[in-house]
Structure 1
Amino acid sequence: MKLFLRSIITHLYSSAILKKNRKNGLRVLMYHSIKKEDSPDDIWSLDLHSFSEHLSYFCGNENINLYSCTDLISKRPKDGIMITFDDGYRNNFEIAAPILFKFKIPFSIFVITDFIRQARKNYINESMLKELGSHPLVSIGSHSQSHARLTKCNRKELANEISGSKSYLEDLLGKEIDMFSYPHGDFNTVVRSEVLKSGYKLGFTSHYDINQPNQDKLTLNRNEIWNTDD
C-alpha cells in the first residue's frame, strides 16, 4: 500500500493502546484518475491495483466507517472515511466505479460541466453521468463550469461557474445537486457566499486536514491522494 495512505490509516485507526490518543475526525479522500496500469509521470492518476488495495483495506478493517458525502447533509459522522473524485475522468466510470460497486462503497464524483457538454476526450459524457447518477452508491457534485480559479472571476463569471453548473446538472440528472468542489481548492469569502447563495449544502476544499463535527459544511477538508507516495 502507498506509504501516504498507510500513514492516514495509521493516524486514524491505530492500535488499541494508541487509539485513545489519536485525533478523531472525518477524513475525506480525494482521488482523480484511476488507470489500469501505473503512470509514473502522471501524479493525478493511481493504478487500479493500488486503488483496489486501498478499498480492500478499508472494507477489511472493522474500525473503519465508510460514509457517503451526502450523509453530511443530514448528520455529522464523527469519524470515518469518505471517497471523492475530482474532474470527472472517463476512467472513474469505466475502471473505478465497477470496483467500488463490487466493494459496495459509496463515493462522490465532482464534474466539470463544460467538459461534459463538449464531450471532451477522457472525461465522462452525459450518458455515463446519467448512469452513475442513478446508482444508489453514487452522488454527483459540481466542480464548476470550466475549472476556473474562482477567486479571479468577476461576479457574472462566478455565478456561471457555480450556479450555472448546478442548473445544468440538475436539468441533466433530474435531481437536486447539493455538493460543490472548489477548483484548484481556490476559494474566499466571496466564493463561499456564492456557493451558499446558489443552494449548495456542502462545499469541498483541498485543504489537508480531518473534519471535526463543527467544521463549516461549505469548507470541508480533504486529503488528496497522489501517485508519488511510494
Structure 2
Amino acid sequence: MLRRTARSVLKAGNTRVDFARRFPDEHDVVLHYHAVGGVGWDSIPPAWFRSHLEWLTRQYRIVDLPEILTPASEKRIVLTFDDGLQCFYDTVLPLVREYGIPVTVYVIGDAIRDREPDYMPVKCEFMTRVQLDELVDEPLVTIGNHTRTHARLPALDRYAIEAEVNGGKEIIDAELGIDVDRFCYPHGESDPRAVDVVSDRHETAVVGGDATPKTVADPYLVPRTSGAVPPSELRWHVPDFPKCWPIRSPG
C-alpha cells in the first residue's frame, strides 16, 4: 500500500515538473498505438496524441524502427501503429507530416481486400486501397505485415503460422507493389515457431510487453510499450526512472 501511494505521489509530481527526465534516461522505447480518434482497439483522443508528439519531440529523437537495432549513446523513440485503421490516414498521417517524424503502420493482408472482416474481436474501420497506395509513396511511413487475418500465432500449428505470416506478406506485396520486411505479431504474442517463420522473410518484428532494453537483443522480438494513455501517463512511462526505481508497484 505504501509503495502504491508513493508511486501515485511521484506520478502526480511528475505531471507538474517532469522530474523523471532529470534522472539517467537511455533506454530506447518503441510505442505502439491502434486507433487515434477513430474506431478500433484502445482509441485515444487526437488531442492526446498531439500532446504526446509535442512532449516526445521536445525531449527525445524519434527515429525509424531499424535505427534502434544499432546501439547509441542517446535514448530514441519509435512510433508504431497496428491494424492499418482508417483513423491512421485521417488523424495520424497529417500529424506525422506536420512533425516530420518516421512511423511504421502494420497492415492486415485480408483487410486490404475486405474492409469488413469477421475475424476481428472489436469493430475496426480500415484504410482504403487508395489511401494505402498513398502511404506507399509517403517517405515518412513504412508499411509492415500484421499477418493475413490477425490470428493468434502461438495457437496455430506450423502450417497455419506460415499461411498467416507469409500469406499476409504476399497479399500486401502484391496489392501495394512493395516488398514488406517489417512484421508485427498480432496481440503481441509470439513463440519460437512464429519467430522462425517471421525471420525467414522479414528483417524486424515487434512483440508485446513493456520491456525497454538499452540494446535490442533480437530483431525479431523488439518489445513495445503502449502509447494509448493520457499525456501525463506517457510522461511517466517513457523515461527510465519509473522502470528502475524500486518503489514501482507490482503489476
TM-score, scaled to structure 1: 0.83
SS in 1 for 2:196: helix
Identical residues among aligned pairs (%): 24
- Picking from 45, 48, 54, the partner of 2:46 is 48
Distance 1:72 1:165 in 2: 25
Q: How does 1:192-203 map to 2 (within 5 A)?
A: 192-197=195-200, 199-203=201-205
- Partners of 2:107 and 2:21 in 1: how far apart? 34
State the shift of 1:128 in Å: 1.1
Letter in 2 for 1:81: I
Which has a greater percent of helix?
2
Give me the whole-angstrom Cα distance separating, in 2, the residues matched to 1:195 and 1:135.
Answer: 25
After superposition, the Cα gap between the structure-2 partners of 1:154 and 1:82, relative to the gap in structure 1 and judged at 3 Å, is same
Establish whether residue 103 from structure 1 lines up as the match of residue 103 from structure 2. no
SS of residue paired to 2:55? helix
Match of 1:190 in 2: 193
Deviates most, 170-179 or 48-57: 170-179
Matched, 1:82 2:84: no
Q: Please state how far the C-alpha of 1:145 moved relative to its aligned partner.
A: 0.7
Separation (CA, whole Å) in 1 of partners of 2:52 and 2:189 = 28
**1:213 maps to 2:215:** yes
Give the corresponding residue for 1:118. 114
Q: Which moved more, 1:181-190 or 1:220-229?
A: 220-229
Q: CA deviation at 1:212?
A: 2.7
Query: Considering only aligned residues, what root-mean-square deviation do their CA atoms show, in Å?
Result: 2.5
Cα distance in 2 for partners of 1:70, 1:112 equals 21
Q: Distance in 2 between matches of 1:183 and 1:167?
A: 17
Q: 2:66 and 2:128 mapped to 1: Cα distance? A: 23
Q: How far does residue 137 in structure 1 lie from its aligned partner after superposition? A: 0.3
**Contact 2:46/2:91 (CA < 8 Å) preserved in 1?**
yes
Q: For the residues of structure 2 that align with 1:126 and 1:154, how far apart are their CA atoms? A: 31
**Gaps in structure 1 of 5+ consecutive residues:** none
Q: What does residue 14 of structure 1 align with?
A: 21
Structure 1: 4+ residue segments shifted above 6 A: none
- Counterpart residue number, 1:128: 131
1:70, 1:139 within 8 Å by CA — same for their partners in 2?
no
CA deviation after TM superposition for structure 1 residue 111, in Å:
1.1
Query: SS in structure 2 opposite 1:203?
Result: strand
